[in-house]
Amino acid sequence: MLTIREAINRGYNLLGVSIIVISGLSFFADLPAEIDHLPHIVDEVLLAVLALVAFVWYMTGRNKYSLTIMPIVFAVLGLAIKILGLFLEFSDPEDRGDEFGALVLFVVLIVVLTWQYFASRRLAAREKQQEPQVVELGQR
């Protein structure tokens, strides 16, 4: 049976991993346009590999139900990969244009996931402090 805590954790993990996977797939679609410039495809390939790793992590064991920093780590790695892509494609204004949207996406994702992680930790700590109250119904 899935607890409320596990459902909240699953939503947090799914949010981070799904955005990484969608980004990896969408930027990998740019590969044919940049195939003639090998340094320009490095970030797309690395982001696709990161998407695969994130998806496998999510689907393995009970990772999806645990409160962990892995979605934040994946988002930080995605940001680092797109920063690398910006440097590799800096000499070509047309190619570097798509990097800026990805930078904004990953920065916002890092902020949202970090906020969600700490909010979930505070909620879990509050739940542990509260003792369950037993109420007997039907007796006066």
- pLDDT digits 0-9 by tens, 55-72: 999 999 999 999 999 999
139 domain-assigned:
no
33 domain-assigned:
yes
- Mark 42-61 as b/e (b = at least 16 C-beta within 10 Å): bbbebbbebbebbbebbeee
140 domain-assigned:
no
pLDDT of residue 140 exceeding 70 = no
137 domain-assigned:
no
Decide: residue 39, CB within 10 A, 0-12 exposed, 13-18 middle, 19+ buried.
middle
Which segments of the chain does DSSP mark as H helices, in order? 4-28, 31-34, 42-59, 70-88, 93-129
Closest CA to 72 of 114, 103, 108: 114
pLDDT of residue 96 exceeding 70 = no
Candidate from 5-14, 32-41, 51-60 with smallest mean pLDDT: 32-41
How many independent structural domains does the chain possess?
A: 1
Model confidence, pTM: 0.85
35 domain-assigned:
yes
The pLDDT > 90 percentage for the chain reads 55
pLDDT of residue 95 exceeding 80 = no
106 domain-assigned:
yes
Candidate from 32-36, 52-56, 57-61, 129-133 with smallest mean pLDDT: 129-133
Closest CA to 21 of 96, 89, 71: 71
Q: Which domain holds residue 96?
A: 4-129
- Cβ–Cβ under 8 Å, residues 43 and 106: no
80 domain-assigned:
yes
47 domain-assigned:
yes
